[in-house]
Amino acid sequence: MRTIINKLREKRIGIIMGGWSSEREISLRSGKNVYQSLKRQGFNAIKIDINQVFAEQIIKAKIDIAFIILHGNPGEDGTIQGFLELLNIPYTGSKVAASAIGMDKVITKRLFEYAKIPTPDYVFVPKNDSIINSVQLIRKKLGFPVILKPCTEGSSVGCVIVDELKVLLKEITKARRRFDDILVEKFIEGMIATVGIIGQRVLPILELVPKKQRFYDFKAKYTKGETEFIIPARIQKKLYGQVQVLALRAHNVIGAKGFSRVDLIIAKNKPYFLEINTLPGLTELSDLPVQAKQAGISYDELVLKILESAID
Protein backbone atom coordinates (compact mmCIF):
# COMPACT_ATOMS: atom_id res chain seq x y z
CA MET A 1 0.00 0.00 0.00
CA ARG A 2 2.77 2.45 0.95
CA THR A 3 4.53 1.73 -2.37
CA ILE A 4 1.36 2.63 -4.30
CA ILE A 5 0.92 5.87 -2.35
CA ASN A 6 4.56 6.84 -2.88
CA LYS A 7 4.16 6.14 -6.58
CA LEU A 8 1.07 8.38 -6.68
CA ARG A 9 2.93 11.20 -4.94
CA GLU A 10 5.31 11.31 -7.90
CA LYS A 11 2.43 11.91 -10.32
CA ARG A 12 0.76 15.13 -11.46
CA ILE A 13 -2.92 14.66 -10.63
CA GLY A 14 -5.55 16.65 -12.50
CA ILE A 15 -8.91 17.07 -10.77
CA ILE A 16 -11.35 17.25 -13.66
CA MET A 17 -14.34 19.25 -12.48
CA GLY A 18 -16.96 21.80 -13.50
CA GLY A 19 -18.20 21.11 -17.00
CA TRP A 20 -21.40 22.56 -18.40
CA SER A 21 -24.16 20.26 -17.14
CA SER A 22 -26.97 21.32 -14.81
CA GLU A 23 -24.81 19.94 -11.97
CA ARG A 24 -21.81 22.17 -12.66
CA GLU A 25 -21.89 23.99 -9.32
CA ILE A 26 -22.03 20.73 -7.36
CA SER A 27 -19.05 19.42 -9.33
CA LEU A 28 -17.07 22.57 -8.52
CA ARG A 29 -17.82 22.14 -4.80
CA SER A 30 -16.82 18.47 -4.94
CA GLY A 31 -13.66 19.29 -6.88
CA LYS A 32 -12.60 22.00 -4.45
CA ASN A 33 -12.92 19.57 -1.53
CA VAL A 34 -10.97 16.86 -3.36
CA TYR A 35 -8.22 19.35 -4.28
CA GLN A 36 -7.86 20.51 -0.68
CA SER A 37 -7.73 16.91 0.53
CA LEU A 38 -5.03 15.89 -1.96
CA LYS A 39 -2.93 18.96 -1.12
CA ARG A 40 -3.26 18.19 2.60
CA GLN A 41 -1.94 14.72 1.89
CA GLY A 42 1.07 16.00 -0.03
CA PHE A 43 0.02 15.21 -3.59
CA ASN A 44 0.86 17.27 -6.66
CA ALA A 45 -2.71 18.19 -7.61
CA ILE A 46 -4.17 20.81 -9.93
CA LYS A 47 -7.78 21.79 -10.69
CA ILE A 48 -9.05 21.64 -14.28
CA ASP A 49 -12.42 23.36 -14.71
CA ILE A 50 -13.36 21.98 -18.10
CA ASN A 51 -15.47 23.54 -20.82
CA GLN A 52 -16.31 22.59 -24.41
CA VAL A 53 -12.61 22.69 -25.40
CA PHE A 54 -11.72 20.16 -22.67
CA ALA A 55 -9.42 18.23 -25.03
CA GLU A 56 -7.09 21.21 -25.31
CA GLN A 57 -7.34 21.92 -21.56
CA ILE A 58 -6.43 18.38 -20.51
CA ILE A 59 -3.57 18.01 -22.99
CA LYS A 60 -2.15 21.40 -21.97
CA ALA A 61 -2.28 20.46 -18.25
CA LYS A 62 0.20 17.59 -18.83
CA ILE A 63 -1.28 15.39 -16.12
CA ASP A 64 -0.30 11.82 -15.28
CA ILE A 65 -3.57 10.81 -13.58
CA ALA A 66 -7.10 12.22 -13.78
CA PHE A 67 -9.32 12.40 -10.71
CA ILE A 68 -12.75 12.77 -12.30
CA ILE A 69 -15.36 14.51 -10.18
CA LEU A 70 -17.74 15.72 -12.86
CA HIS A 71 -21.49 15.27 -12.44
CA GLY A 72 -23.79 14.82 -15.42
CA ASN A 73 -22.62 14.97 -19.04
CA PRO A 74 -19.90 14.84 -20.32
CA GLY A 75 -18.10 13.42 -17.28
CA GLU A 76 -20.52 10.89 -15.93
CA ASP A 77 -21.59 9.33 -19.23
CA GLY A 78 -18.26 7.94 -20.41
CA THR A 79 -17.25 10.82 -22.71
CA ILE A 80 -14.32 12.08 -20.65
CA GLN A 81 -13.34 8.52 -19.76
CA GLY A 82 -13.09 7.59 -23.44
CA PHE A 83 -11.00 10.66 -24.21
CA LEU A 84 -8.60 9.90 -21.36
CA GLU A 85 -8.19 6.36 -22.64
CA LEU A 86 -7.22 7.73 -26.05
CA LEU A 87 -4.53 9.77 -24.29
CA ASN A 88 -3.50 6.76 -22.16
CA ILE A 89 -4.10 8.75 -18.95
CA PRO A 90 -5.28 6.60 -16.01
CA TYR A 91 -8.40 7.91 -14.30
CA THR A 92 -10.47 7.26 -11.19
CA GLY A 93 -13.77 5.43 -11.05
CA SER A 94 -15.74 3.48 -13.61
CA LYS A 95 -14.71 2.85 -17.21
CA VAL A 96 -16.53 4.00 -20.34
CA ALA A 97 -19.27 1.36 -20.58
CA ALA A 98 -20.22 1.37 -16.89
CA SER A 99 -20.28 5.17 -16.85
CA ALA A 100 -22.61 5.30 -19.86
CA ILE A 101 -24.90 2.64 -18.41
CA GLY A 102 -25.07 4.25 -14.98
CA MET A 103 -25.97 7.61 -16.52
CA ASP A 104 -28.94 6.11 -18.39
CA LYS A 105 -31.74 5.37 -15.92
CA VAL A 106 -33.68 3.14 -18.31
CA ILE A 107 -30.75 0.88 -19.22
CA THR A 108 -29.84 0.70 -15.53
CA LYS A 109 -33.36 -0.42 -14.61
CA ARG A 110 -33.35 -3.04 -17.35
CA LEU A 111 -30.12 -4.46 -15.92
CA PHE A 112 -31.66 -4.38 -12.44
CA GLU A 113 -34.53 -6.47 -13.78
CA TYR A 114 -32.09 -8.87 -15.43
CA ALA A 115 -30.16 -9.27 -12.15
CA LYS A 116 -33.36 -9.69 -10.10
CA ILE A 117 -32.83 -6.42 -8.26
CA PRO A 118 -36.30 -5.05 -7.37
CA THR A 119 -37.11 -1.71 -8.99
CA PRO A 120 -40.34 0.29 -9.36
CA ASP A 121 -42.49 -0.30 -12.45
CA TYR A 122 -41.89 2.23 -15.18
CA VAL A 123 -42.68 3.43 -18.68
CA PHE A 124 -39.98 4.66 -21.03
CA VAL A 125 -41.07 7.71 -23.05
CA PRO A 126 -38.68 8.31 -25.99
CA LYS A 127 -38.53 11.88 -27.23
CA ASN A 128 -40.26 11.19 -30.55
CA ASP A 129 -43.06 8.94 -29.23
CA SER A 130 -46.66 10.10 -29.17
CA ILE A 131 -47.35 11.87 -25.87
CA ILE A 132 -51.02 10.80 -25.93
CA ASN A 133 -50.11 7.13 -26.40
CA SER A 134 -47.48 7.37 -23.65
CA VAL A 135 -49.93 8.97 -21.22
CA GLN A 136 -52.50 6.24 -21.86
CA LEU A 137 -49.89 3.54 -21.24
CA ILE A 138 -48.72 5.23 -18.04
CA ARG A 139 -52.28 5.48 -16.71
CA LYS A 140 -52.96 1.82 -17.50
CA LYS A 141 -49.67 0.33 -16.29
CA LEU A 142 -48.69 2.58 -13.39
CA GLY A 143 -51.69 4.55 -12.17
CA PHE A 144 -50.93 7.52 -9.91
CA PRO A 145 -48.82 8.96 -8.38
CA VAL A 146 -45.84 8.74 -10.72
CA ILE A 147 -42.53 10.55 -10.91
CA LEU A 148 -41.07 11.94 -14.14
CA LYS A 149 -37.30 11.75 -14.54
CA PRO A 150 -35.03 12.79 -17.41
CA CYS A 151 -33.19 9.65 -18.48
CA THR A 152 -29.71 11.14 -18.29
CA GLU A 153 -29.69 13.79 -15.55
CA GLY A 154 -28.51 13.52 -11.96
CA SER A 155 -29.12 15.25 -8.61
CA SER A 156 -32.89 14.95 -9.18
CA VAL A 157 -32.70 17.67 -11.86
CA GLY A 158 -36.00 17.79 -13.76
CA CYS A 159 -37.75 15.27 -11.49
CA VAL A 160 -41.39 15.98 -10.66
CA ILE A 161 -44.14 14.00 -8.92
CA VAL A 162 -47.49 13.86 -10.73
CA ASP A 163 -50.76 12.88 -9.04
CA GLU A 164 -53.33 13.26 -11.83
CA LEU A 165 -53.80 12.74 -15.55
CA LYS A 166 -54.10 16.34 -16.79
CA VAL A 167 -50.92 17.34 -14.94
CA LEU A 168 -49.09 14.35 -16.43
CA LEU A 169 -49.81 15.53 -19.97
CA LYS A 170 -48.61 19.02 -19.11
CA GLU A 171 -45.42 17.85 -17.38
CA ILE A 172 -44.38 15.42 -20.13
CA THR A 173 -44.88 18.17 -22.72
CA LYS A 174 -42.76 20.54 -20.65
CA ALA A 175 -40.05 17.94 -20.06
CA ARG A 176 -39.82 17.28 -23.79
CA ARG A 177 -38.77 20.89 -24.38
CA ARG A 178 -35.89 20.65 -21.90
CA PHE A 179 -34.73 17.03 -22.07
CA ASP A 180 -34.61 14.15 -24.50
CA ASP A 181 -35.95 10.78 -23.34
CA ILE A 182 -38.10 10.59 -20.21
CA LEU A 183 -38.56 7.86 -17.61
CA VAL A 184 -41.93 7.75 -15.85
CA GLU A 185 -41.77 5.63 -12.73
CA LYS A 186 -44.35 4.49 -10.20
CA PHE A 187 -43.84 6.81 -7.22
CA ILE A 188 -43.44 4.79 -4.05
CA GLU A 189 -43.84 6.45 -0.68
CA GLY A 190 -41.35 5.07 1.81
CA MET A 191 -37.97 5.40 3.43
CA ILE A 192 -35.41 7.10 1.18
CA ALA A 193 -32.05 5.36 1.49
CA THR A 194 -28.70 5.18 -0.22
CA VAL A 195 -25.77 2.76 -0.08
CA GLY A 196 -22.18 3.67 -0.90
CA ILE A 197 -19.67 1.24 -2.38
CA ILE A 198 -15.88 1.62 -2.22
CA GLY A 199 -14.10 -1.04 -4.22
CA GLN A 200 -16.13 -4.09 -3.18
CA ARG A 201 -16.81 -2.79 0.33
CA VAL A 202 -20.41 -1.91 1.10
CA LEU A 203 -20.78 1.08 3.41
CA PRO A 204 -23.46 1.55 6.09
CA ILE A 205 -26.92 2.39 4.75
CA LEU A 206 -27.86 6.05 5.03
CA GLU A 207 -31.48 7.04 5.61
CA LEU A 208 -32.50 10.44 4.22
CA VAL A 209 -35.43 12.38 5.63
CA PRO A 210 -36.24 15.59 3.71
CA LYS A 211 -37.82 18.09 6.10
CA LYS A 212 -40.05 19.88 3.60
CA GLN A 213 -39.85 18.19 0.21
CA ARG A 214 -41.93 15.18 -0.79
CA PHE A 215 -38.86 13.44 -2.16
CA TYR A 216 -35.08 13.89 -2.05
CA ASP A 217 -34.90 16.68 -4.63
CA PHE A 218 -32.10 19.07 -5.57
CA LYS A 219 -32.91 21.51 -2.79
CA ALA A 220 -33.03 18.76 -0.16
CA LYS A 221 -29.71 17.38 -1.38
CA TYR A 222 -27.65 20.54 -1.44
CA THR A 223 -29.19 22.96 1.07
CA LYS A 224 -27.83 22.68 4.58
CA GLY A 225 -30.52 21.80 7.11
CA GLU A 226 -33.09 20.64 4.55
CA THR A 227 -32.51 16.92 5.16
CA GLU A 228 -31.99 14.81 8.26
CA PHE A 229 -29.30 12.15 7.90
CA ILE A 230 -29.84 8.97 9.90
CA ILE A 231 -27.07 6.39 9.87
CA PRO A 232 -27.28 3.50 10.14
CA ALA A 233 -30.75 3.49 8.59
CA ARG A 234 -33.62 2.30 10.78
CA ILE A 235 -34.06 -1.05 9.06
CA GLN A 236 -34.50 -4.54 10.51
CA LYS A 237 -31.22 -6.47 10.59
CA LYS A 238 -32.21 -9.08 8.01
CA LEU A 239 -33.48 -6.48 5.53
CA TYR A 240 -30.38 -4.34 6.17
CA GLY A 241 -28.16 -7.20 5.03
CA GLN A 242 -30.35 -7.90 1.99
CA VAL A 243 -30.17 -4.28 0.89
CA GLN A 244 -26.37 -4.26 1.14
CA VAL A 245 -26.12 -7.48 -0.90
CA LEU A 246 -28.42 -6.08 -3.59
CA ALA A 247 -26.55 -2.76 -3.66
CA LEU A 248 -23.26 -4.53 -4.34
CA ARG A 249 -24.99 -6.62 -7.02
CA ALA A 250 -26.22 -3.39 -8.65
CA HIS A 251 -22.69 -1.97 -8.58
CA ASN A 252 -21.29 -5.09 -10.21
CA VAL A 253 -24.04 -5.74 -12.76
CA ILE A 254 -23.30 -2.46 -14.55
CA GLY A 255 -19.54 -3.01 -14.21
CA ALA A 256 -18.87 -0.07 -11.87
CA LYS A 257 -15.34 0.36 -10.52
CA GLY A 258 -13.73 2.21 -7.65
CA PHE A 259 -16.76 3.72 -6.01
CA SER A 260 -20.48 4.31 -6.51
CA ARG A 261 -23.69 5.10 -4.67
CA VAL A 262 -26.92 3.13 -5.07
CA ASP A 263 -30.24 4.85 -4.32
CA LEU A 264 -33.44 3.12 -3.24
CA ILE A 265 -36.82 3.38 -1.52
CA ILE A 266 -37.93 0.97 1.20
CA ALA A 267 -41.69 0.47 1.56
CA LYS A 268 -43.45 -2.21 3.63
CA ASN A 269 -40.10 -3.91 4.31
CA LYS A 270 -39.33 -4.23 0.60
CA PRO A 271 -36.50 -2.37 -1.17
CA TYR A 272 -37.03 -0.75 -4.58
CA PHE A 273 -33.76 0.23 -6.25
CA LEU A 274 -33.92 3.41 -8.31
CA GLU A 275 -30.51 4.07 -9.86
CA ILE A 276 -26.77 3.92 -9.44
CA ASN A 277 -24.46 6.91 -9.37
CA THR A 278 -20.98 6.15 -10.71
CA LEU A 279 -19.68 9.62 -9.77
CA PRO A 280 -21.41 10.51 -6.49
CA GLY A 281 -20.81 13.94 -5.00
CA LEU A 282 -17.97 14.63 -2.60
CA THR A 283 -19.21 17.96 -1.20
CA GLU A 284 -19.50 18.68 2.51
CA LEU A 285 -23.20 17.68 2.32
CA SER A 286 -22.86 14.63 0.04
CA ASP A 287 -24.05 11.19 1.06
CA LEU A 288 -20.93 9.12 0.34
CA PRO A 289 -18.59 10.95 2.76
CA VAL A 290 -21.24 10.60 5.49
CA GLN A 291 -21.41 6.84 4.95
CA ALA A 292 -17.64 6.52 4.78
CA LYS A 293 -17.27 8.39 8.07
CA GLN A 294 -19.72 5.99 9.73
CA ALA A 295 -17.52 3.12 8.50
CA GLY A 296 -14.44 4.74 10.07
CA ILE A 297 -13.11 6.20 6.82
CA SER A 298 -12.13 9.87 6.98
CA TYR A 299 -12.67 12.22 4.04
CA ASP A 300 -8.96 12.17 3.22
CA GLU A 301 -8.91 8.35 3.34
CA LEU A 302 -11.96 8.25 1.07
CA VAL A 303 -10.29 10.51 -1.48
CA LEU A 304 -7.12 8.38 -1.33
CA LYS A 305 -9.06 5.15 -1.91
CA ILE A 306 -10.78 6.70 -4.92
CA LEU A 307 -7.43 7.93 -6.26
CA GLU A 308 -5.98 4.43 -5.95
CA SER A 309 -8.75 3.13 -8.25
CA ALA A 310 -6.96 4.89 -11.12
CA ILE A 311 -4.04 2.45 -10.95
CA ASP A 312 -5.71 -0.66 -9.54
The pLDDT value recorded for residue 2 is 65
Average pLDDT over residues 7-21: 91
The pLDDT value recorded for residue 178 is 79
The pLDDT value recorded for residue 210 is 81
Average pLDDT over residues 21-27: 87
> Does residue 275 carry a catalytic annotation?
yes
Domain 2-92 has CATH 2.60.120.10: no
Average pLDDT over residues 141-150: 91
Q: Is the pLDDT of residue 246 over 90?
A: yes
What pLDDT, in 10s, does the model give residues 151-200? Answer: 877 656 778 888 888 888 888 888 877 777 889 999 999 999 999 999 99
> Does residue 114 carry a catalytic annotation?
no
> Does residue 113 carry a catalytic annotation?
no
Query: Active site residue: 275, 286, 287, 299, which one?
Result: 275
Domain assignments of the chain as residue spans, ordered by start: 2-92, 102-118+189-308, 122-186
Query: Active site residue: 222, 258, 272, 299, which one?
Result: 222
Query: Active site residue: 72, 263, 299, 309, which one?
Result: 263
Query: Active site residue: 27, 30, 155, 309, which one?
Result: 155
What pLDDT, in 10s, does the model give residues 101-138? Answer: 999 999 999 999 999 999 999 999 887 778 788 888 99
| CATH class held by domain 102-118+189-308 | alpha beta
What pLDDT, in 10s, does the model give residues 255-292? Answer: 999 999 999 999 999 999 999 999 999 988 789 999 99
Query: Active site residue: 18, 19, 102, 281, which one?
Result: 281
Query: Active site residue: 18, 23, 35, 309, which one?
Result: 23
> Does residue 281 carry a catalytic annotation?
yes
> Does residue 277 carry a catalytic annotation?
yes
Burial of 192 (0-12, 13-18, 19+ CB in 10 A): buried
Query: Active site residue: 277, 287, 299, 309, which one?
Result: 277
> Does residue 222 carry a catalytic annotation?
yes
Q: Is the pLDDT of residue 217 over 70?
A: no
Greater confidence, 210 or 109? 109
The pLDDT value recorded for residue 225 is 66
| CATH class held by domain 122-186 | alpha beta
Query: Active site residue: 76, 102, 104, 261, which one?
Result: 261
| Total-model pTM | 0.89
Percentage of residues of the chain with pLDDT beyond 70: 94
The pLDDT value recorded for residue 177 is 77
